[in-house]
Amino acid sequence: MKPVAKRILPLTIALALIVGGAGCSLRSVATSVSSRVFREVHGLRVRSYQMMPVTNDLRQYKAIEIHKLNNLMLDEIPAKSVEQLNVGIVQQIRALNHFDHIGVIDVANDSQEKQANQPGDEITDAVLQPTLVLEGYIDDFTAGIPKLRYIEHGNNHAILTVRTMLKDKQTARVLGEMNITVENTRITSNVERMVGKSAEEVARYVRRSATRPNETKEAYQDRLEKFGSKER
């Protein structure tokens, strides 16, 4: 029995070292990919692409005019989802607490809602100061087919693509353009959460563009030549 015990002891020690090393490795992996795990757990994948980078300093703009999105998908996207997206964008931008004046324009009905955070007489003042215009359209939408998602183990995802533009109100010049796609990768896809995330991403684009210096056109071209255009 003693020779057998001598052979078992080194094997036991080796196994203990392997398990211990694997435990450290697993802990380090879990720590390094925590953000990725968070995104997978919530089932929302965001892809955005700058169609036209913002190269002007937009920090001077303290007023914004939000146009309700033009729906190119017509009846393919539920009306309640379109309304949720438009309302969500306004709410998210108001929550930024960056703009003194916020106007909401419904081009389809040719109407304008009263600006937030100001009495009626100050609407004229908002028009006179530098004003950003946020507009865009719903470019793609699919709710997916639930039965196919179960069969394909999560494929046939729900997808929403929005293209947004920032313009100067006085000159109508386009200052920047971003394409944002949100994909719900869960088998039990939730369109409402996907639409809400899209509104958050639009507001995030506005905040990032309007609250920090943007690289010049020359610097952007130099970066493209060095590193190429990459999807964020």
Q: What is the pLDDT along the chain (232 residues), one digit of tens a residue?
A: 555 555 555 555 655 555 454 444 433 333 333 333 333 435 788 999 999 999 999 999 999 999 999 999 999 999 999 999 999 999 999 999 999 999 999 876 656 665 545 444 444 455 578 999 999 999 999 887 665 555 555 555 789 999 999 999 999 999 999 999 998 877 666 789 999 999 999 999 999 999 988 655 555 555 556 655 444 4
Name residues whose C-beta falls within 8 Å of residue 146's C-beta, 6 or more positions apart in sequence.
188, 189
- Identify the DSSP state of 59: T
Distance CA 229, CA 225 (A): 8
* Distance, CA of 186 to CA of 39 (rounded, Å): 11
The DSSP-derived string for 158-196 is EEEEEEEEEEETTT--EEEEEEEEEEE-SSS--HHHHHH
Strand partners, 67: 105
DSSP one-letter code for 49: E
- pLDDT at position 37 is 30
Question: Is the entire prediction scored with pTM above 0.75?
Answer: no
User: What's residue 128's pLDDT?
Assistant: 72
210 sits in which H/E element? helix 191-210
- pLDDT (0 to 100) of residue 100: 95
> DSSP class of residue 121?
G
Domain locations along the chain: 1-32, 43-216
CATH 3.40.50 holds for 43-216:
yes
> Of 214, 166, 186, which Cα lies nearest the Cα of 57?
214
Whether 179 and 163 have beta carbons less than 8 Å apart is answered as yes
pLDDT value at residue 214: 62
Q: Say if residues 209 and 54 touch (Cβ distance below 8 Å).
A: yes
Q: What does the pLDDT read at residue 92?
A: 97
Residue type, 186: R
